[in-house]
Each structure stands twice: as structure tokens, then as C-alpha cells.
Structure 1
Amino acid sequence: MEKSEAIGDEMWPGRAPDPRERADTPAPLPDPTGKKRKQQVTPGEEPRIPQPLEDKGPRHKRVKPVLSSGPPPKGTPLQRLSQSIQRSMSFRPESSRLFGLSRRGSGMGPGPSGPSRRPRGGSCRLWTETFQRPAPEPLCDREVRRQEVIFELTTGEQQLVKDLTLVKKNYYEPMQTLAILSETELQQIFGTLDDLIPLHQDLLSQLQRARQEDGTVSEAGRILLGWLPGLRAYSSYCCNQVAAKVLLDHKKRARPVGNFLRLCQESNFSRRLDLWNFLDLPRSRLVKYPLLLRELLRHTAAEHPDWAPLQEAMTLSQDIVGTINRKTGEAECGYYRQRLVYPDEAQRAPGISRSRLLHCHGELRNNKGQRLHVFLFEEALVVTRLVTHEEQTGFQVYRQPLPLDQLILDDLPDGEARLRTSIRGAFAPGGERAKNAFRVRFREPALGQAHTLQADDAFNKQQWLSCIRQAVDGRPGRAPASPPGPEAADCSLAPLARLSLGSRRAPSPMDVS
């Protein structure tokens, strides 16, 4: 800037400064000492007297822009979200809950989800965006939608194969090489995941071979009908997920495993997702097949040669998923039954050992503010305290379990129950009042004590009330546990059984099985 002014003065001596130039010229920097600089005059030279400003018209001299001497503004960093599994496994409303349910306000399947963040990668383009070749005969809207479903099925298989291969190459094999986990622990955590990769590669290759030059697939029903029986291999994988999640969470506390998983999550290949997000992918994919087939059948005309095979394939997929769901529920129920600790043998209620289904389980608080873990088994409600013995998590039974044929449920309005959480509250007039509370008690009070339980919010309270009512009222020959209130959720045990274990996010106050 200073060089430009010197050149201008030499070319036009005695020229008055242009007002535009004056505006574009930065003012001299202030002295660091705070004193005003004096104009320096060379000996023998008269001080320069400012001349009146004149408009000399437009000039073409380029002037450098004035730069701010202050630091650039700081940008707000974006937060990257990642899910812990929780989720447990969860279905969407239409999907079915698989493997031990956890009711977390979201369904099974990608949800996911939820915050749930599900691993995604690759392109999300539609079939119409991928294959834009003009066809000799334009397709009708229904056929376009049918091709979109087939394309979604194909790309989903492609992404699943990619992610399962990633888990094998970037997690299983390095952990095996580094020997940070034993072979038994690796088999417990990863299960039969290695057997699922060729299964989905087979379906992907068949669908790709069936694709014609214009991108259309004329018939997919027979392909699916021949491939779906292989999904029965999912039974062992899904039944193992409850124990796998518990072991993985335990091993992450060890420095070698924790550091390895942290470095993997910070790497680009993991898309900032936790290992459990990838291990839960097969389960969430499994419950999608009945939904995709139902959608594909909806866009297939009854006279289409693919309609009958698709109808048969949809029925088969529902039967397979239902069977796996039942076996997984039994495996989850057995897993938690084995981890119950009985301080008194009288607490071993026969209904607990007879139960083959775990309706729901999760954390609640009593009127003393103590956190309790509550299990609603098929024939008994059990209130427990979390304990640790020899680095293994267990659940110590608290008071006497309530058989469902003796259980009475009371929905407590906000403020009706009194809390005894502090000395201050005990001496305050009326004491502290509880919100989102309910009471479970024996039909015959002499058999055991009642429990006043408090949920974290109104939504989770309604989940518990609905699940308990349906578990009690669904027993043959049983009168309702309590009159269903107007705000009671309208859901049945069938949809609840389609929910799943939470493992993709942080634990929620309630897990419905």
C-alpha cells in the first residue's frame, strides 16, 4: 500500500489526495505506548499543508483491501453423534421386535435407530437416478415403484456385505492378532457373524445377475424363495447377542480393548460408529425382509408371474423371523434368570423358573430414591438391586417376587406418593411428592410388601403400566390387574414382542422384552 502511494506522488507531484484513495488507505497504527505520534519533518523542509479535496473522477489505480488485524472468528465445531447399544435391539412400529425386547420409545430395526444412529455408507441413489436409459416402452408408475423396492433390496445387501467384511477385517482379525481377547471371548462377542457374509453375498450375486441391461429385474420372487431358508442361520447369532453385549461392555473397561476400540471409532473407516453398531446390523437387516417383501408384493400386480412366489416368500420370511424372535426371547429370559441372586431361598418363586418370556426390564426408583432394576417375567415381577461379584454383574432380589396372579397395579397421580429421599424432605410439611409413580402390591397383603416405583418421565411410566397390564390381563382366566385409565397406551403383547434389546444407545429407563 505504501509503495503504491509513493509511485503516485512521483508521477503526479503536488497532486491533492483523492478522497477514494484516502478512504482505501489504512490509518497509521497507534504507538504501543499509547502516545500520539508527531509528524516528522525533515530539516529544511516545510510541513505539508493539506490541500482542499477535489474530485478527480474515476481512477484505475488498484488498491489493496484493508485487512483486519484481529483474529478470525472461531467457527462452532459440529458434534458427531454415535449410538451405544443400547439399543438394544429395536423394531420400527411395523417391524417385529426381535431378541429380547427392550422398550425404549423406539422400535426394533433401524431406528436404530433411533439416535439411534445406524451405520450407513455408499450411495443412497434411487433406481430411477441410477438407470436413466430410455426404455423402448416406458414403465408405468407401479412398475417403477416395484423396481425401486428391488433396487433397495439389492443395495441393502451390498452395503451389509461391505459392513460385515469391515467388521471381520478391521475388528475381529486385528483383535485376534493382537491377542487382546481370548478365542473364547472373540467367539462370544462376534458369534457366527463370519457365516453370514457368504449368505448375503449369495443373494446379492443372484439379484445382480437377474438385472437386465436397462436395470430392471423381471422376477425376484423365486430368487428370494430359494434363498430365505438360509436365514435360519441367524438363530444362533441373535440368541447370542444379549451375552455378547454384556461381555463387550465389560471388556471395554480394560485398557487394551478400550484403546483399540477408541482408535477404531476415531478412524474414517468406522464412520465414527461403535463396534456394537456394526454387530447389530445383521439383526436389524433380518427384520427388514418381511417389510421389503410386503412392499414389493404391494407393487406387483396379481397377474404378474412374480406375484405368487413373492406371496409365498413373504409368508416364509414372517415364519422364520417369528421363530427366531421366540428363540431369542427365551435365550434372553434364561440369561437374566441365571443372574438373579437370592439372599433368601424363600424368594425363589416357582413362577420365575417356569417363565420362558421376559416382557420387560429396566431401571426404576423406589420412594427412597434408590435405583432398582425391575424384571417382568412371564409369571412374576421381580425387583432387584444391581450387584457385582467377581467382576460379573448380577441382580440381587429385593423383597419377595410378585406372582402375576397375585399382582395388583395402582396408577398413582402425581403428588400422591411421598418420597423419603432426604432429611429435609422428611421434616417438610407433607414431605416431597413423587411424579410418574405407580404401585405394585399383592392381592393378599400378608404374602409380601408392596413397591412404590417411580419412572424418569411420564412416557416411560405409561410404557410400564401398559406392559404390566397386558402381562397380567393376558393370562388365561385372569381379571384385569387394574381398570385401564384413559391415558393408557393402546398396544398389545404382540407388538411388544416385536420390540428388541436396546444396544445402540445409552441405557434408557425401561427395556421391554
Structure 2
Amino acid sequence: RDPFDFMFYFEAHRDDCFQTLVSVLQEPSSKRSKPVSRVASLASLLPPVKSTPLKRIGLRLQVSPKPLPHWFKSQPSKRRDSKLWSETFDVRTGATQTLSPKEIKRQEAIFELAQGEQDLVEDLKLAKKAYHDPMLKLSIMTEQELNQIFGTLESLIPLHEDLLGRLRDARKPDGSTEHVGHILTAWLPCLSSYTSYCSNQVKAKALLDQKKQDRRVQDFLQRCLQSPFSRKLDLWNFLDIPRSRLVKYPLLLREILKHTAIDHPDRQHLDEAMLMVQSVVADINRQTGESECQYYKERLLYSEEGQRDQLIDRSKTLCCHGELKNNRSVKLHVFLFQNILVITRSVSLHNQPVSYQLCRQPIPLTRLDLEDLSDGEMRVGGSIRGAFSNTERSHEDHKSLKKKGSEHCLVGLDDPTPKVKVV
């Protein structure tokens, strides 16, 4: 049976003409982890760009009070079966020699690459068939809104089906794979298709969080989240899977290279593939960063014309940004562009993405000093409140970013979860 066959159940209410959908699909697995980036130098004073406050909007939403229908029962999610290559290797189908421990690890790394492609293809198809298509059919969102949120996701499916097919064709009857380097060097240029998808993500996330304010959207997504096929992942987790997979390719290739002997026939192609994937990922990261920077520049609101600064307009890189509180518990949102620091307050306009109102003059980095403060010194001058997490404070040295001739002071803790304070 096709693992993506599923049954739709509808419940219609005349009082509000509200339709809901529950998609019950047998689709097991576990959530794959995302890489966490760290930002050095001045950027370490603010959370990484990935930790955007856009997520906070969704986290504040309440579950729809609308009760589930009597026939619906939340079922435990099922995980994908995690296989090892050694479980698929069959010495009875043609294996002529005993494999060394190093070669076994190499085969495991190649198998992990192929298995990851299969999981990715299934997740992309699931996102389209269980989320995109039903929401379009039920008019929960317009086609234009869905195109903005899902971007070019559908076009990525045949791309990864192609790589998966090539890797399967390269497997011998016993389950081992001799060469993959030539396959990767021929396929990796296709990753350029990710540029448009990743560049659209910041706008897609903003629109999705905005649409979650709609009761029908909220109810649909909640019911999907409670269904087994979602594996307890929300829609954005599925939409972010391609990006997570993209940044994992260098790690996967590095693992294969690690267990490939220097004199192995596949070594040269693998070295070439490694250089290719690093270049492609770096280029996509650069263009995605520029797109994200441009998006936030367009969301800035200036209360005075004098607040506009050419350093903001010329910025192509947003090093990091995040929400913090001052000693009066006023929430601020700080943007660290490549040459200027911008302090704002977030503004939520009706049916519009979040905007950011400048609350003071932007501060060029040339007017900022970076200095170390001890734990005791950090508390001088008034109350300091946590900005980003509830984790315990570190007793390590702290860093303070002070504006020359101003009372502003940003303090970040040198712990795994950066914090920022304003005094």
C-alpha cells in the first residue's frame, strides 16, 4: 500500500460554516535534529539569526477551544524504523570477501546518505499531501498564501528522488556500494535550486505565524499535530526539513571521506564532491542571508526621518537579532547589522507581519566598545533581567557592549544560550 494513502474526515457545522480536517496517515519516524550555529565576536552578544522571535508568535497561540469530534482519538505517533547498513548486508548474494571494520563504517555512512534521501522525499510528499492540498481544497488559505508559505517545496521532490534512485542503482546485490563519488559530483549542482526556497523562508515563516491567528488555520494545524502522521511535528518543522538536510550534506560527505582510504578509486571524486558541496552551501547561505537582511530592513519603521542611516540601507548581512528587556521590563528587539546596531520595539499591525519601530537613534559599530565585565560588575547600575531564556546564569566572564558617551549597555553571558541585557 502507498504509505501516503490516507482518509479525510470532515465535520461541518452550520452555525459557523466551519470545516475541519483530520488526516490519519501511517507515517512513522523521529524528528531529525537541527544544527545550532554560534556567532562570534560582537554577534555573540545576541542570539543567532536562526533564533528569530517569529517563532514566539506561534508559541503564544492557545489551542482552539473547539472540542475534538467523538470519533477522533489522539493516537501516539510512530517513529520511523532506524536501520543500519549491516542489517541489510547479505553475504549469501554474492559477497566475495570479508569487509574490514573501516569499510563497514564507510558502507554505513553511504547507507545513511541514501536513507536520509528516502526520509526527505517522504517528508516533502507528506507536507504537500497532508497540509498544502487539504488547506487549498478546503479554502483554509488562498492559493497565493500557500504558494508563499510552501515556496518551491514541490520542485525539490524530483530532485531528491533522482539522487535516491542513483544511489539505489549503485548498490550491489549484497547491499554494498563501491562508488558514490561520481554520483555526487554529477548531482550536487542541482542543489542550486535551494536558493529560492531558502531565501523565501523568512517571509514564509512570518506569513505562517500571521495565519495562525486565524481560528480555522489554528484548528486544522492542531488536529494535524495530534494525528499520528505528523510525528508530533508542526507544519514549520516539515517546511524547514529541506534546509536542515542541505546543511547536513557536508557532514555526510565528510563521514564518507573519513572512512575512504587515500588509494580508494572513489577518493578523488569524493574530494571533488566535498569541495562542490561546501561551495554550493556557502553560496546559498550568503544569498539567504542577504534575503533575510533585506526582509528585516523593509520591516523597520522610522518615527523620525533622522533615524534613517545609510549604514542600514547598505547592509547586506544581518549578523544576529533577538528580543530583550530593559530594566523597566520593556521588550526591545535588537538588530546587529554588519556595521550598525538598531534598537526597536516590535509592532503588530492588523493582518500584517510584525514590524519594528525604532525607539532610538541607530548606533554605528564604530561608536561601540567591547569590554569584559565580571559577574559582580554586571549587576552595578540597577536591575538586570533575563532576555532570552530561563537557564541558570554562568559564573564565567561576561561581555559588555557599551556605546561611547551613552548609558546603553548590552551584556551577554558566555554560556551555550547567549543572553542580552540593556541597562
For Structure 1 versus Structure 2, the TM-score category normalised by the shorter chain is: 0.7 to 0.9
Alpha-carbon separation, structure 2, partners of 1:336 and 1:401: 15
Contact 2:346–2:355 (CA under 8 A) maintained in structure 1: yes
1:420 Cα deviation after fit: 9.5
Q: How do 1:306-455 and structure 2 match up within 5 A?
A: 306-392=266-352, 393-412=354-373, 413-419=377-383, 440-443=401-404, 445=405, 449-453=406-410
Tell me, yes or no, if structure 1 residue 187 matches structure 2 residue 147: yes
What is the alpha-carbon root mean square deviation over aligned residues?
2.9
Residue 157 of structure 1 corresponds to 117
Contact 2:401–2:411 (CA under 8 A) maintained in structure 1: no
Letter in 2 for 1:123: D
Residue 490 of structure 1 corresponds to none
Identity of aligned residues (%): 49
Decide which structure has the larger Cα Rg and report it.
1
Unpaired runs of at least 5, structure 1: 1-81, 94-99, 106-118, 422-435, 466-508
Change (3 A) 1:360 1:179: same
Residue 187 of structure 2 corresponds to 227
Contact 1:192–1:237 (CA under 8 A) maintained in structure 2: yes
Alpha-carbon separation, structure 1, partners of 2:322 and 2:384: 22
- Compare 361-370 and 161-170 and name the one that shifted more: 361-370
Change (3 A) 1:385 1:411: farther
Tell me, yes or no, if structure 1 residue 263 matches structure 2 residue 263: no
Contact 2:336–2:342 (CA under 8 A) maintained in structure 1: yes
Partner of 2:343, secondary structure, is strand
Residue of structure 2 aligned with 1:133, choices 69, 91, 99: 91
Letter in 2 for 1:308: Q
Partner of 2:366, secondary structure, is coil
Tell me, yes or no, if structure 1 residue 102 matches structure 2 residue 49: yes
1:234 Cα deviation after fit: 0.2
Identify which of structures 1 and 2 has the higher relative contact order when contacts are C-alpha pairs closer than 8 Å and 6+ apart: 1
Residue of structure 2 aligned with 1:459, choices 401, 404, 415: 415
1:170 Cα deviation after fit: 0.5
Q: How do 1:20-169 and structure 2 match up within 5 A?
A: 90-91=35-36, 101-102=48-49, 121-133=79-91, 135-169=95-129
Letter in 2 for 1:161: V
Contact 1:366–1:454 (CA under 8 A) maintained in structure 2: no
Letter in 1 for 2:409: T
Residue 177 of structure 1 corresponds to 137
| Matched residues, number | 344
CA deviation string 1:221-245 (max 9, x = no partner): 1011111110000000000111111
1:399 Cα deviation after fit: 1.1
CA deviation string 1:182-230 (max 9, x = no partner): 1111011000000000000000011111111110111101011111110
Contact 1:417–1:437 (CA under 8 A) maintained in structure 2: no
Change (3 A) 1:359 1:197: same
Residue of structure 1 aligned with 2:167, choices 207, 211, 218: 207
1:406 Cα deviation after fit: 1.3
Alpha-carbon separation, structure 2, partners of 1:225 and 1:316: 7
Letter in 1 for 2:357: Q
Letter in 2 for 1:133: V
Alpha-carbon separation, structure 2, partners of 1:285 and 1:417: 46
Residue 69 of structure 2 corresponds to none
TM-score (norm 1): 0.63
Change (3 A) 1:462 1:173: closer
Partner of 1:459, secondary structure, is coil
1:121 Cα deviation after fit: 4.6
Contact 2:78–2:228 (CA under 8 A) maintained in structure 1: no
TM-score (norm 2): 0.75
Alpha-carbon separation, structure 1, partners of 2:294 and 2:37: 25
Unpaired runs of at least 5, structure 2: 1-29, 39-46, 53-76, 386-396
1:407 Cα deviation after fit: 1.2
Contact 1:381–1:401 (CA under 8 A) maintained in structure 2: yes
Alpha-carbon separation, structure 1, partners of 2:270 and 2:228: 39
Contact 2:301–2:355 (CA under 8 A) maintained in structure 1: yes
